[in-house]
Amino acid sequence: MAELSKVACQVMWNRLISIVEEQAQALVRTAFSTSVREAGDLSAGVYNAEGQMLAQAVTGTPGHVNAMADAVPHFIRRLGRDNILEGDAYITNDPWEGTGHLHDITVVTPSFHQGQLAGFFACTAHIVDIGGRGFGADANSVYEEGLYIPILKFFDKGVVDQTLIRIIRGNVREPDQVVGDVYALATCNEIGHRRLIDMMKEFHLTDLQGISDFILTHSREATLARIAALPRATATGQMQIDGYDREIDLCVTLTIESDRVLCDWAGTSGVDKKGINVPLVYTKAYACYALKCAIAPDIPNNAASLAPFEITAPENSIVNALHPAPVALRHVIGHMLPDTIYNALDQILPHTVPAEGAGCLCNFQVSLRPRSDAPAPLDARRAEVLMFNSGGSGARPSLDGMSATAFPSGVMTMPVEATEQVGPVIIWRKELRPDSGGAGQFRGGLGQYMEVGARDGHEFDIQAMFDRVNHPALGRHGGAPGAATTIGQDDGTAMKGKGKQFVPHGRKVMMAFPGGAGYGAPDLRDPALVQRDLALGYISKETARNVYGLTTLQIADAIAAAMNGDDI
């Protein structure tokens, strides 16, 4: 590496990023689950021979990739270096040594060049079913939540472990889909390996030590420089959220030192009886992501740029749940952690971070079956359908929040058309929810309306995975809260925000997903922006008049512009 210039090193760094992005896109193209193909609920990365992450794909979620950054060293430790061989591929869904719950399968593949271990490729994908109680919070321990796969070999020197495949197929409801996803994970790693070897040959590299040192050194120095420029301060942040059957308090103390940022979750609620607990690896993933977004967003994500952010939490708190705590819906809590951190960081770096948003994804899984109250049609069938959806993100210090956009996860909303192809489910309505974004100088992003039912002859259970029912997103610096989540059946039957609930034949589930909160006082908002919101249907006439103070003439002008298709 000594003879290569900094320019060549930078070219190779960029090449590694493009390699892992191709790796991720290969997973998207070959995966069976809609959560991967349509929502991008995955991660991909390349690691050096010591298991340090060098680059991550742009496609994917921070919860997966940042947790996976800690996972590869577990693989090396469990397997032993002498047992890492060319042609191998390794697998796990261990929540504490993978990415936080059993529904995420991680595959790690060693990359050999000229007979020597050069590094590793790793990828993770959320699979629709892993057996057990299904994707929901109802389990009382991890043993009820599905099939547990310890760190072991999936490929042994190129030979597939068929016993493992039979065990997986015998324990899940959608065996073809799950096994197909496992093979897709291994395949995308192989594509990354091929591209890496091409690069090594092109630059005449025998190993990755030199480029690894270059990436990690420059990332560490750049991150430390950003931290050094910050004020030395300590602040605390709190947030209360719905929980399962009791409210959850999230508490964080943030301390900025000259060469690191400490994030301590002491004071947070203890482990819950139901599956909303978070392994520390997932807490670290989203806490680091929140801090990097605010402090060093343009520095590429790798082991060195993550290292200065030190995350601690008391054992058996809900953000450091130990085995065998149920953890299936760890994202419901984990996705709320960035907003809690920002409640503290706003005190140190005012006008830097957004207002609170919807936080956790608005997910639900539908388990469909032939109706039981009367004879079902011959074509009625069982199916598992998972839908990823988003509420609104919080308004930013100088911009409105984004509507129906998942922050912090970055998971994409699934198209209705793709969802309805998976099983006999019908999405009767899916549209933006007016007036759900909190008012402010900058408005919060809008949530969504959704109405879901089944095709004739089917009944179903719905696993609700929502929050912000009783605790909507709060505004910042005078901004108003976003709208809360609501859920119920079309006949008025009330439903819970979390848990498995039966929906009889012919009924629909009516959902309204939460909006992001506003930033700054509403009376500071530019009247032209209020008129534009009204013309686009983002707010009602009542909100334009009563909250933002628009006159009758201004309202009439906005409505006329909307009817004429004029740009405001």
Q: What is the pLDDT of residues 295-343, one digit of tens each?
A: 999 999 999 999 999 999 999 999 999 999 999 999 999 999 999 999 9
Range 215-241 average pLDDT: 98
**Residue 454 burial class via C-beta count within 10 angstroms: exposed 0-12, middle 13-18, buried 19 and up:** buried
Q: State the average pLDDT over residues 541-546.
A: 96
Average pLDDT over residues 478-484: 98
The single-letter DSSP state of residue 428 is: E
Contacts 24+ apart (CB under 8 A), 190-194: 190/109, 191/22, 191/23, 191/26, 192/19, 192/20, 192/22, 192/23, 192/44, 192/46, 192/109, 192/111, 192/121, 193/109, 193/111, 193/121
Q: State pLDDT tens for residues 144-180.
A: 999 999 999 999 999 999 999 999 999 999 999 999 9
Instruction: Give the per-residue pLDDT at 407.
Output: 95
- The reported pLDDT for the residue numbered 140 is 96
- Of the pLDDT bands very low, low, confident and very high (cuts 50, 70, 90), residue 2 is very low
Instruction: Report pLDDT digits (tens) over 273-293.
Output: 999 999 999 999 999 999 999
pLDDT band for 3, please (50, 70, 90 cuts): low
Helix, strand, or coil (residue 11): helix
pLDDT confidence band for 558 (50 / 70 / 90)? confident
Find the mean pLDDT for residues 178-206: 97
Question: Rounded mean pLDDT of 475-498?
Answer: 97
Structure tokens at 413: 């909303």
Residue 366 pLDDT more than 70?
Answer: yes
Instruction: With cut-offs at 50, 70 and 90, classify the pLDDT of residue 134.
Output: confident
Q: What is the pLDDT of residue 1?
A: 42
Per-residue pLDDT at 348 exceeds 70? yes
Provide the mean pLDDT of the chain: 96
pLDDT of residue 473: 98
pLDDT score for 567 = 63
Q: Beta strand 309-312 with 261-264: parallel, antiparallel or unpaired?
A: parallel
Provide the 10 A C-beta neighbour count for residue 136: 26
Answering whether pTM is above 0.75, one says: yes
Calpha distance 295→352 (Å, rounded):
9
For residues 44 and 68, give the distance between their C-alpha atoms in angstroms, rounded to a whole number. 9
Confidence of residue 14 (pLDDT cuts 50, 70, 90): very high
Element (H, E) at 462: strand 458-465
**What single string gives the DSSP state of each residue in 94-108?**
-TTTTTSSTTEEEEE
| Residue 566: predicted pLDDT | 67
| Closest-CA residue to 88 (of 69, 108, 74, 70) | 108
SS (H, E, C) 134-203: CCCCCCCCHHHCCCCCCCEEEEECCEECHHHHHHHHCCCCCHHHHHHHHHHHHHHHHHHHHHHHHHHHHC
* Per-residue pLDDT reduced to its tens digit, 497-516: 999 999 999 999 999 999 99
pLDDT score at 568:
59
The confidence score (pLDDT) of residue 252 equals: 98
Listed residue (313, 308, 310) closest to 280, CA to CA: 313
- Is the model's pLDDT at 461 over the cut of 90? yes
> Which pLDDT score, from 0 to 100, does residue 44 have?
97
Q: Is the pLDDT of residue 410 over 70?
A: yes
